[in-house]
A and B are shown apart, each in its own frame.
Chain A
Amino acid sequence: MATEIIMPKVDMVMDTGTFVEWLKKEGEYVEKGEPLFVVLTDKANIEIEAPASGILAGLRAKPNDVIPVTEVIGYILEPGETLPGAAPGPEPERVVPPSPVSAADKAAPRMEPAAVSEKVRATPAARRLAAELGIDLRLVSRGHGPRGRIQRADVEALATQAAVRPSAPVIAVAPTPVTTVSGITPPASVRLPDARQKDVVMLSGPRKIIAERMAYSAATAPHIALSLRVDMSEASRLRTYVQDHFQRKTGQRVSFTAIIARAVAAVLPRHPYLNASLDGDRIILWEDIHLGIATSLEDYLVVPVIRQAQNKNLEQIVTELADLIERARTRRLTPAEMSGSTFTITNLGMFGVEWFTAIINPPETAILAVGQIMDTPVGREGNVVLRPMMQMTLSADHRVIDGARAAHFLTEVKQTLENPYLLI
């Protein structure tokens, strides 16, 4: 009987796969378990093995085709068999199946992709983490360990993609594909007849994850934005005051982002709904403050996480943040270090942005967008004076947080930054 070759679901958030290439040709004999074709997922190019032994026929996927998972892209026929729905034809004569002996020699115990019923080979650490996160290990088609064994890193990678938090109860956020959010139907295809194309870049890897998660957040969480300006005179003074000492001790400069992170970590424990996640009909209030700090790389954005920021002093935050950012830029962060945040800060001040609103990083309930510090005329005791002002904009999920609640938090952050000496 003909075996269907389908686009496999090789990770949890995958709805379509981008076909890269066939590794065998139409009419060629393929052994079960041999690499058959390559698919591009969010993470990497993945070789998919032949689900059966036989002759390849009806291969219809072409490079760069975006194909829904489970769609049939070809067949493996037994000798003498014809394509389903095709007229019987002569068997290609040149194809001689290898002898059973050599087939047995080659039959290494390999995991097949999408063969969910097979026994999972995974390390105890991978099983433990998967159990904690509520991840079905059968969704990992093939681990990176020897002979496809699933290891901890594979589960972490899956967790990151699915935005499942490693250190806390699971919230399975299922990002909806960009093209089908909330029943909004995009145009059938992008056609601009009088525009010349420069290039076509595939939406893949981290870019695709960001696209899906931001679309999911924007479509599901009704955002409210509140903005205010903070007088950064004292925070600047504090920074100047501790700069030399910190630099001597830690080798790191004190960034405003670190000071703001410290202030947010100090204030958040009194505002649990801003350090929370909406999970169905439950709002989970997190005890730990895992602060995500949005960090731009050349081609995309990552959010390294300062864990338990509520317990860390300014010096620790400065040191940890510098380390995380350095390793983010050199691509050495582990998936665990880039996931599981409970609140995010994004600072575009260094790019000269005065203010902006940010999209909430799901499954969080709020995000703080920070603009540039600018000398600005303000009224003080009846006089107009120049002060270093910084505009902060809080985006909050209105399902969980009302305006007044958001305002209380934002105001308290402002007050803390304007009287920052208790933060050291």
Chain B
Amino acid sequence: MSEADVRELTYLEAIREALTQEMRHDPNVFLLGEDIGVYGGAFGVTRGMLEEFGPERVRDTPISEAAIAGAATGAALMGMRPVMEIMFMDFITIAMNQLVNQAAKIRFMFGGKASIPMVIRTPAGSGTGAAAQHCQSLEAWFINVPGIKVVAPATPYDAKGLLITAIRDNNPVLFMEHKLLYRTKGPVPEELYSIPLGQAVVRREGRDATVLTYSVMVPRALEAAEQLSREGIELEVVDLRSLKPLDQATIVASVSKTGRVLIVHEAPRTGGFGGELAAVIAESEAFDYLDAPIRRLAGRDVPIPYNRALERAAVPQVEDIVAAARALAREGK
């Protein structure tokens, strides 16, 4: 198939298409969440799906994240493949016990005789002016819980392919969508396809420094790389896509090649996933290739402010990546 034959979809449409196609393909797949049916979802991801699949398979729930997660866990335990939606990732706190103590543990507690094939879809991240209780990126909490996988796609193509894989996975998968990416467009094949978890992708090759990142920071890092290229600095941008399982081989290869690494994420720096990535690199054979300290560029350790200027200042922007990567690439040269 040539490029011209591939349709362009938005990230949001790609997610909807993945859900729709999987539901047509597998009658055990169903959706549950707040306002996902009649209203079509807070961001419109499930718009039109109630009409196609009916209220049995596109279930509007009460405003109780604990109930959504508990019901999804129970349904999964009984052989269904639920895809639950948490309207804003911030609200996942209320579902924590069901997800962390039940969904993540059941397969292990029952010696593998039960499994929990479910997906938790949730929009994360700031940039919409929705303030501290609607803007968080809480991936690090879940990465620290054995039994849950964490995926954070950056492109429409990956959103569709990774969501299909997540639905078919026999374990709970936290599927992080980014609000600012919903309207971004990209080529998405019409057919069903899946992308394996645990495979990062090098979005741009470069020799001077590696940028390890995911989700909304991928397009920002690519824009930064473009700008720095004009100064003769070539960044290699690695989109992790799946945070757990993590593609260590691609990380180690890239860092070994460039000798310098900048880790970029939106979530707050302290205790963030960047610290784990830094440790992975420091413990690997890439250590001997490091020609500068591992650097992190992450959200500030503050609740996301309501003020739009401060909100922008609280998380890495293109110019921040440019400045940090430039300093890193030039260090000692």
CA distance A128 to B287 in the complex (A): 10
- B259 interfacial by beta-carbon distance below 8 Å: yes
Q: Give min CB distance, A225 to chain B, whole Å.
A: 41
Binary contact track B287-311/A, C-beta < 8 Å → 1, others 0: 1111110000000000000000000
Q: Are A123 and B333 in contact (CB under 8 A)?
A: no
Q: Give min CB distance, A93 to chain B, whole Å.
A: 44
Binds B, one of A50-58, A146-154, A294-302, A337-345: A146-154
Q: Which of A155-200 contact B (CB under 8 A)?
A: none
- A125 interfacial by beta-carbon distance below 8 Å: yes
Q: Which of A120-149 contact B (CB under 8 A)?
A: 123-128, 143-146, 149
User: Of B288, B292, B332, which is in contact with the most chain A CB atoms at under 10 Å from its CB?
Assistant: B332
Q: Give min CB distance, A288 to chain B, whole Å.
A: 20
Q: Residue B331 contacts which of A124, A127, A146 (CB distance < 8 angstroms)?
A: A146
User: With a CB–CB cut-off of 8 A, which chain B residues contact A154?
Assistant: 332
Q: Are A124 and B332 in contact (CB under 8 A)?
A: no
Q: Are B259 and A145 in contact (CB under 8 A)?
A: no
User: With a CB–CB cut-off of 8 A, which chain A residues contact B288?
Assistant: 124-125, 127-128
User: With a CB–CB cut-off of 8 A, which chain B residues contact A125?
Assistant: 259, 288-291
User: With a CB–CB cut-off of 8 A, which chain A residues contact B331?
Assistant: 145-146, 151
Smallest CB gap from A152: residue in B: B291
User: With a CB–CB cut-off of 8 A, which chain B residues contact A145?
Assistant: 292, 331-332
Q: Are B289 and A151 in contact (CB under 8 A)?
A: no
User: Of B287, B290, B291, B333, which is in contact with the most chain A CB atoms at under 10 Å from its CB?
Assistant: B291
Task: Identify the A interface with B (CB < 8 A).
Answer: 123-128, 143-146, 149, 151-154
Q: Are B287 and A123 in contact (CB under 8 A)?
A: no
Q: Are B292 and A144 in contact (CB under 8 A)?
A: no
User: With a CB–CB cut-off of 8 A, which chain A residues contact B291?
Assistant: 123-126, 151-152
User: Of A125, A126, A151, which is in contact with the most chain B CB atoms at under 10 Å from its CB?
Assistant: A125
Q: Give min CB distance, A155 to chain B, whole Å.
A: 10
Cβ contacts A to B, 18 pairs, < 8 Å: A123-B290, A123-B291, A123-B332, A124-B287, A125-B289, A125-B290, A126-B291, A127-B288, A128-B289, A143-B332, A144-B332, A144-B333, A145-B331, A151-B292, A151-B331, A151-B333, A152-B259, A153-B332
Smallest CB gap from B287: residue in A: A124
User: With a CB–CB cut-off of 8 A, which chain B residues contact A146?
Assistant: 331-332
Smallest CB gap from B289: residue in A: A125
Q: Are B333 and A153 in contact (CB under 8 A)?
A: yes
User: Of A123, A128, A154, which is in contact with the most chain B CB atoms at under 10 Å from its CB?
Assistant: A123
Q: Give min CB distance, A125 to chain B, whole Å.
A: 4
Smallest CB gap from A126: residue in B: B291
Known: A151-B291, A154-B332. 5 other contacts (CB 8 A): A123-B259, A124-B290, A128-B289, A149-B332, A153-B333
User: With a CB–CB cut-off of 8 A, which chain B residues contact A127?
Assistant: 288
User: With a CB–CB cut-off of 8 A, which chain A residues contact B290?
Assistant: 123-125
Majority DSSP secondary structure for residues of A touching B: helix
CA distance A128 to B291 in the complex (A): 10
Binary contact track B263-296/A, C-beta < 8 Å → 1, others 0: 0000000000000000000000001111110000
User: With a CB–CB cut-off of 8 A, which chain B residues contact A144?
Assistant: 332-333
User: With a CB–CB cut-off of 8 A, which chain A residues contact B289?
Assistant: 124-125, 128
User: With a CB–CB cut-off of 8 A, which chain B residues contact A143?
Assistant: 332
Sorted from nearest, which 8 A-B pairs have the closest CB atoms? Answer: A151-B332, A145-B332, A125-B291, A128-B288, A152-B291, A124-B290, A123-B291, A144-B332
Q: Give min CB distance, B180 to chain A, whole Å.
A: 35
CA distance A124 to B283 in the complex (A): 12
Q: Give min CB distance, B7 to chain A, whole Å.
A: 34
CA distance A154 to B288 in the complex (A): 16
Smallest CB gap from A143: residue in B: B332
Q: Give min CB distance, A282 to chain B, whole Å.
A: 28
Binary contact track B322-333/A, C-beta < 8 Å → 1, others 0: 000000000111
CA distance A126 to B287 in the complex (A): 11
User: With a CB–CB cut-off of 8 A, which chain B residues contact A152?
Assistant: 259, 291, 332
CA distance A124 to B332 in the complex (A): 13
Smallest CB gap from B292: residue in A: A123
User: Of A124, A146, A149, which is in contact with the most chain B CB atoms at under 10 Å from its CB?
Assistant: A124
Smallest CB gap from A146: residue in B: B331
Q: Give min CB distance, B281 to chain A, whole Å.
A: 11
Q: Give min CB distance, B91 to chain A, whole Å.
A: 43
Q: Give min CB distance, B153 to chain A, whole Å.
A: 33
User: With a CB–CB cut-off of 8 A, which chain A residues contact B259?
Assistant: 123, 125, 152
CA distance A125 to B287 in the complex (A): 8
Q: Give min CB distance, B330 to chain A, whole Å.
A: 10
User: With a CB–CB cut-off of 8 A, which chain B residues contact A123?
Assistant: 259, 290-292, 332
CA distance A143 to B291 in the complex (A): 12
CA distance A82 to B135 in the complex (A): 70
Q: Give min CB distance, A131 to chain B, whole Å.
A: 9
User: With a CB–CB cut-off of 8 A, which chain B residues contact A151?
Assistant: 291-292, 331-333
Q: Give min CB distance, B236 to chain A, whole Å.
A: 16
Q: Give min CB distance, A336 to chain B, whole Å.
A: 12
CA distance A124 to B293 in the complex (A): 9
CA distance A124 to B333 in the complex (A): 15
User: With a CB–CB cut-off of 8 A, which chain B residues contact A124?
Assistant: 287-291
User: With a CB–CB cut-off of 8 A, which chain B residues contact A126?
Assistant: 291
User: With a CB–CB cut-off of 8 A, which chain A residues contact B292?
Assistant: 123, 145, 151
